[in-house]
Amino acid sequence: MSDEKDITLHATAIAIAGYGVIFTGESGSGKSDLALRLIDRGAILISDDRVILEHIDDRISLRGPEKLAGKLEIRSLGIFDFGHVADVELKMEVQLGQQVERFPMDSQQNIFLGKAVPSIRLDAMESSAPIKVEMALQKLLKDMQR
């Protein structure tokens, strides 16, 4: 277990039905764009560009830095204010990039603050990406109930 209590990542985070999803990837990989499309589908912004992960009890909590909370950059339009939430438990990481496995061999995870978090890889620019994020989270939650 890591001794760190919190870290700040270059990432974007949203809440879907109260569950935290963090998007990681290079600058320009589509983190903000995918978040915007999911917000349009009912997700709530946690933070764009920088996300604070905090180890609280046995969970990883997500929140935005005070100056960035509720702000989302929409390329070619500027920075917009959105309703936002904080202290949302991280349930899943979505790694964004263009090289995505067609059939992942097994469950993927990434370690944040000493805790394993389920992780998937997606191309954010696929038109089905928002639906894939929602379906992956639904499957994860269903698998956790077994």
Give the residue numbers marked as catalytic. Answer: 10, 31, 49, 102
Reported in sequence order, the residue ranges of 11-134 that DSSP labels E, i.e. its strands, are 12-16, 19-24, 44-47, 50-56, 59-63, 71-74, 78-81, 88-96, 108-112, 115-122
Q: How far is CA 124 from CA 41, 56, 57, 58, in A?
A: 15, 30, 32, 30
C-alpha torsion sign, points 11, 68, 141, 54: positive
DSSP 48: S
**49 in Cβ contact with 9 (< 8 Å):** no
Rg of the chain over Cα atoms, rounded to whole angstroms, equals 14
Phi, psi at 37, each rounded to 5°: -65, -35
